[in-house]
Amino acid sequence: MNFDITSAHTNYTYHINVYVPEVDMPEEGFSVVYVLDGSSYFHFVKEIVRLQSINAAKTEVFPSIIVGVGHGEDMRMRRFYDFTAPAETYVYPEKFRGAFDGQHGGAADFSRFLEEELKPIIQADYPVNKSKEILFGHSLGGYFTLWQLFNAPASYYKYIAISPSIWWNEHELFRYADAFLAKYSELPAKLFTGAGGLEEFMVDDAQKMAQQLSAVMDTAFYVAPDENHGSVVPTIMSRALRFVNN
């Protein structure tokens, strides 16, 4: 199943793919995984769930609804808008200077799109367990996943942030984390984060974030040996989904 939806909050049209397991529905409904960068990762995550849930007793990956949230042909630049937080000032790494032309800082509107426009459609049209909604993001999508956790931790049951771009805007996510930790002493939400062993500083950033947040919530961190930023998701996703199901 797929459809397009134009958001009143972001003024952008997203391509949505939905996979529903062809098995008996649990009494409380299926868990649902919202997959950011759905144009890249929806089919991959869907096939992991479809194949591994056949023998869930061994794989610990259970049938779930998968919702891919995809961008259009302008995906590369639009991601920087939708997935990054609003800020008064931005400091760019050297390689990105002059590349954005102000096209960033739309995370609050993108979050409203997910929460107020997309989720109600999925919940109304599919057998969803609203208490088991999961958010997955890689790279800038991983940055947004953490930002969403910090701003609305109850919006998802579990969060998966793989190789999150914590470096963005001089590591501002650590400032969000400090405010988050000052506000909460214990949370039921859970976080899986990880990175490829070849990602250098991104490994350190993700590990530091997981360690800090472990003070108030259940976290898991994993380094995939010999993997880089482009190869890490296929290597790590089964492990992440096992965490989601436990």
Q: Catalytic one among 15, 43, 171, 229?
A: 229
Tell me if residue 229 is catalytic. yes
The single residue of 7, 31, 111, 139 carrying the catalytic annotation is: 139
Cβ atoms 144, 137 nearer than 8 A: yes
Closest CA to 244 of 20, 1, 35: 35
What whole-number distance in Å separates Cα of residue 65 and Cα of residue 49? 9
Helix orientation angle between 168-183 and 201-213, rounded to the nearest 10 degrees? 10
| Choice among 133, 172, 199, 227 that is catalytic | 199
What is the rounded CA–CA span in Å between residue 20 and residue 25? 10
Q: Which ranges of the chain would DSSP assign to H, the alpha helix?
A: 38-52, 56-59, 75-82, 107-112, 119-125, 140-151, 168-183, 201-213, 232-245
Query: What backbone phi and psi angles, to 5 degrees, belong to 66?
Result: -115, 130
Question: Six-digit token pair at 68?
Answer: 């891919």
Would you name the residues annotated as active-site residues? 139, 199, 229
